[in-house]
Structure 1
Amino acid sequence: MSEDEHEIEDLQVEVAALLLDYVYAPLLEDQHVRGVLPAPSGAPAVRVALGDGGECDPARLTAYEIPLGSGVELRTPHDVVALLRAVHTGTHIYPSDRVTSVMGMDLYLVDPTQLKEAPFTTDDWAATLLRCLARPSEEQPPVRLRGFLFREGGLLRLYMDSDEASGVIAADVQPGGALTALLAALPSLLGEEWRTSDGADDPHCRYLVDLTRW
């Protein structure tokens, strides 16, 4: 198997993992994810079935095939979400050669060049950050997520503990941007005293760290 084929397989795994969030929460309006299928014959694409929450009747589901390649680059799982939202925004006319069926579902072959991807929302960024903290790749992460709270102004308050500091520490962050860098820096940032306040208005933490401008 070639390196490109391995990359497609890994990306299909990542897409399936991300889209799990939209089985219970709607992807857009009343549309939930009811299936994620790797395109057959090793095709560099993923197929996603959408429908009402709890729906299982193939005739009431709609499947979309999203190509995973974008020029010389691969799309990200978040790009797939953006394209799925885009197909449900406005009216889209598909030529007959891009409409077929599979397993009893109507299947639309999406052409990303004909769509304007839906923007990544603050909640999307927050969910990505929370997922990374709640399901770390390390067996013993340097910080653990104990809770979270969405705040006014698009802020997210994280409640964490760490081997470096006792008790629960809260951190206010602005979801978005360089999440990887923030995740890597969190263990040391939580202990920077000049960033802290006593968190007197929040009884759920020992102190609060302001990371909104980090």
Structure 2
Amino acid sequence: MTHPEDRQQQAAISRLLLYYLNAPIAEGCRLRGVLPASDAVRIAIRAGDGESSETFLYEIPHDTVAPAHIPGILRTVLSGTQLYSSDDISEVLGMTLIRLHPEEITPAPEPEEDQALSVLRALSDPGDDENPFLIGFLMKDDSLMRLYVQHPDCSGLIGVDIHLTDTLTALTASLPSLIEETERHQPAPDDPHCDLIVDLTDC
């Protein structure tokens, strides 16, 4: 891996997949590693448990897919029977290496927990512990999540309701400015954990 762009892409994918060290990426499948390769990333996945388990390396070219789509591609590949050309299969470090063609794979939808994690990671700035923006959160029914945030110009906490969808990036980026809009502020008589409620479920 010689190009700086490859290293940046590799680092982004490694950060993105860290969560799957603690949670299965698909039923019966767990992340075992993220390995650098020339113009690609190789993701080690252990399928099965105990002595019957086997670890596979899935190679995904950097120039065919954005890092955010990789978990969905892996979920699709790991959740059903796939057919591969013999040219796409080899062996590396004692693992079966399978070269994927992401342009031919429809990414599986992101589970609600993964969507929530994406939002919470984006709003959590570990470099600002003295004045954090995100204070807490609550997963609710019907793909709703309440975020508890504080605004630098506000002494109280604000509860922000959002829908977990596949298009949260823009909402997450604009959240600090949206909570400043006083016409969105509502009282919070039923939630003792915040002073105001901002409903962004229609955004």
TM-score interval for Structure 1 and Structure 2 normalised by the shorter chain:
0.7 to 0.9
TM-aligned CA distance change 1:53 to 1:134, over 3 Å: farther
Partner SS, residue 87 of structure 2 = helix
Q: How do 1:1-214 residues align onto structure 2 when only pairs under 5 Å count?
A: 5-39=3-37, 43-51=38-46, 60-70=54-64, 75-135=65-125, 139=128, 144-176=133-165, 179-214=168-203
AA matched with 2:116 = A
Partner SS, residue 92 of structure 1 = coil
Q: How many angstroms apart in 1 are the aligned matches of 2:169 and 2:130?
A: 14
Equivalent pairs: percent with the same residue? Answer: 39
Q: Shift of residue 53 of structure 1?
A: 9.2
AA matched with 1:91 = T
Q: How many angstroms apart in 2 are the aligned matches of 1:191 and 1:15?
A: 33
State the Cα deviation string for residues 140-165 of structure 1 (Å, max 9, x = none): 89861111111122111101112111
Q: Tell me the TM-score normalised to structure 2 length.
A: 0.86
Q: Shift of residue 87 of structure 1?
A: 1.1
Q: Shift of residue 92 of structure 1?
A: 1.1
Q: Shift of residue 180 of structure 1?
A: 4.1
Partner SS, residue 176 of structure 1 = coil
State the Cα deviation string for residues 165-193 of structure 1 (Å, max 9, x = none): 11221100123365443234322322333
AA matched with 1:77 = P
Paired positions, count? 202
Contact 1:44 1:67 in 2 (8 A): yes
Where structure 2 has 5 or more consecutive residues not aligned to the other structure, the ranges are: none
Partner SS, residue 142 of structure 2 = helix
Contact 1:16 1:36 in 2 (8 A): yes
Q: How many angstroms apart in 1 are the aligned matches of 2:67 and 2:89?
A: 23
Q: Tell me the TM-score normalised to structure 1 length.
A: 0.82
Contact 1:144 1:160 in 2 (8 A): yes
- Residue range with higher mean Cα deviation, 98-107 or 46-55: 46-55
Q: How many angstroms apart in 1 are the aligned matches of 2:154 and 2:143?
A: 27
Contact 1:142 1:162 in 2 (8 A): no
TM-aligned CA distance change 1:86 to 1:181, over 3 Å: closer
Partner SS, residue 42 of structure 2 = strand
Partner SS, residue 22 of structure 1 = helix
- Residue range with higher mean Cα deviation, 180-189 or 159-168: 180-189
TM-aligned CA distance change 1:187 to 1:117, over 3 Å: closer
